[in-house]
Structure 1
Amino acid sequence: MTDEARLADPVDVLGALPQNSVVIFRHYGASDREALASALVGAARRQKVRVLIAADPALAVRVGADGLHLPEALAARGPGAWQNWRRPDWLVTASAHSLAALFRARAAGADAALLAPVFPTISHPEGLTLGKLKFSAWCRQSPVPVYALGGISGKTGRLLKNSGARGFAGISGFLI
């Protein structure tokens, strides 16, 4: 996931990612958001990395992105908020911070969800977290594949080995 406060140019992170990774482009406040998104999509194609645009299906279509990421509030509005923009080959993910949000992600048409925060994060070290047990329980109950987000590192990722998570998402763990 991109973070404009920690990484001004999201293209810079591509070299650290393996092929078939997915980058969720956020940069919500960037005045040049469309230009950044377009550059990221072009560079990512050359690296065989997919790009999802967060919260803006029209932008995703304009820049030829590989899909859309739904922040939890957008997913809660259901598929009507974005479904008319959907392309057949898109990957759609949604953010979730509760078990109910995982079910709303499915109802919204998401293919997968990013469940957070699993562990303390750099940006919110004192915030409430799910922890391994709750995260694992919710993975087993989720109607969509779940990716762990929040405080993910090599060490914490190993703690989730048998959690049911499909994979990991992160911000700081991928900044170089």
Structure 2
Amino acid sequence: MPSRYPAEIPPRWLMTDERLGDGLWRALRRLPPGSGVVFRHYATPLEERRTLFERVQRVARARRLVLVAAGSALGGTLRHGRVAGAYSWPVHDRAEALAARRARAKMVMVSPVFPTRSHPGAPALGAARAARIGRLAGVPVVALGGMTERRWRRVAGLGFAGWAAIDAWVE
């Protein structure tokens, strides 16, 4: 039986949220084909969220982007979150990495690697520690939190499969 997951883990990811506003469309255009998008928009009312997700889904298909939905499943998509069968799993510490392993997540997103505007004041893990934590999951590890293309080039050699960001795609 063929896997429902993409064959490759995309090396670049956009994490969406309400802060993007109309910058969401610019960010989606800036992603190279084959990149990934984690659609979050947790604070958006459900019907509006579904409508927005459908628009993002059309862009993702046209641009050959892997689209993953966080929170409630939207249209049978790949899932992001701490749920059985999740494609991607958020990891902030050792316990979450081990939980991702038990749940057989396809990949983990470890954060925050660097200080980030999304979580002001939260202590950053640092690249080496984030990589060590991520490896506990036994699956590809994506660096998240304060990431940019430049920072990605600095940390790629630590074993990360890719990187994810919000601001890096709109600035």
TM score, norm. by length of structure 1:
0.79
Unaligned runs of 5+ in 1: 84-90
1: CA distance between counterparts of 2:36 and 2:120?
25
Give the superposed CA RMSD. Answer: 1.9
Q: 2:125 aligns with which of 130, 143, 156?
A: 130
1:67-146 to 2 correspondence within 5 Å?
67-70=78-81, 75=82, 79=84, 83=85, 92-146=87-141
The verdict on how the C-alpha distance between 1:153 and 1:12 changes in structure 2, with shifts beyond 3 A counting, is closer
What secondary structure sits across from 2:21 in the alignment?
coil
- Asked which structure has the greater RCO (Cα within 8 Å, sep 6+), the reply is 2
- Corresponding position of 1:86: none
CA deviations 1:28-57 (Å, max 9, x no partner) are 121200000011101110111121110112
Whether the aligned pair in 1 keeps the contact of 2:87 and 2:106 (CA below 8 Å) is yes
- 1:8: Cα distance to partner? 4.5
- Corresponding position of 1:152: 147
Whether the aligned pair in 2 keeps the contact of 1:102 and 1:144 (CA below 8 Å) is no
The verdict on how the C-alpha distance between 1:116 and 1:60 changes in structure 2, with shifts beyond 3 A counting, is farther
- 1:9: Cα distance to partner? 6.4
- 1:125: Cα distance to partner? 4.4
2: CA distance between counterparts of 1:123 and 1:52?
19
2: CA distance between counterparts of 1:125 and 1:29?
18
Q: Which amino acid aligns with 1:154?
A: E
1: CA distance between counterparts of 2:79 and 2:137?
20
- Corresponding position of 1:18: 32
1: CA distance between counterparts of 2:23 and 2:152?
26
- Corresponding position of 1:4: 18
Unaligned runs of 5+ in 2: 1-14
State whether structure 2 residue 157 is matched by structure 1 residue 162.
yes
1:22-101 to 2 correspondence within 5 Å?
22-31=36-45, 32-57=48-73, 59-61=74-76, 65=77, 67-70=78-81, 75=82, 79=84, 83=85, 92-101=87-96
- 1:153: Cα distance to partner? 1.5
What secondary structure sits across from 2:50 in the alignment?
helix
- 1:105: Cα distance to partner? 1.2
- 1:7: Cα distance to partner? 2.6
